[in-house]
Structure 1
Amino acid sequence: MKCREGCGACCIAPSISSPIPGMPNGKAAGQRCLQLSSDNLCNIFGQPERPAVCSAFEADPEVCGSSSEEAIRLIGWWEQMTAA
């Protein structure tokens, strides 16, 4: 599966513990990443300061569903199921 351009769910739904430019402590689940543009595109895509966890993310129907809204619900569910 290819990412849906402008989805942004993977930049909103999960927690990210790695530092992100402008967010030195990462971000909480459900919090919009400061690097997510108004068009829901990553402002630091392909740049070295982009967290490794973001670069490693691969879209998958189990995680992304069929819409951005479904992706936010599914990623949020996975976040809760895998929280320590």
Structure 2
Amino acid sequence: MQCRPGCGACCVAPSINQPFHGMPRGKPAGVTCVHLTAARLCGLMGDPRRPAVCGAFQAEYATCGDTREEALEQLQQLEILSLPD
């Protein structure tokens, strides 16, 4: 599956616990990454400052669903499930 143009859910829903360029404290879940463009594309695509976790993310139906709204919902659920007990 290819990323859905104009989605950007993976740049909003999950947390990034490591500091990275532009977000020295990382990114909390539900907060839009400062590098998400108005067209909902990653502004750090191809840039070595892009977090490794972002580069490793692969669009899949299980996480992205059929719409941006489904992707946000499914990624939020994964975030909740990944929290320590």
Please give the range of the TM-score, normalised by the shorter of the 2 chains: over 0.9
Summarize the alignment of residues 3-82 of structure 1 with structure 2, pairs less than 5 Å apart. Answer: 3-82=3-82
Deviation at 1:20, TM superposition (A): 2.5
Deviation at 1:25, TM superposition (A): 1.2
RMSD across aligned C-alpha pairs, in angstroms?
A: 0.7
Deviation at 1:21, TM superposition (A): 1.7
Structure 1: gaps (5+ residues): none
SS in 2 for 1:37: coil
Letter in 1 for 2:66: S
Q: State the TM-score, normalizing by the size of structure 2.
A: 0.95
CA distance in 1, matches of 2:19, 2:3: 23
Query: Matched residues, percent identical?
Result: 49
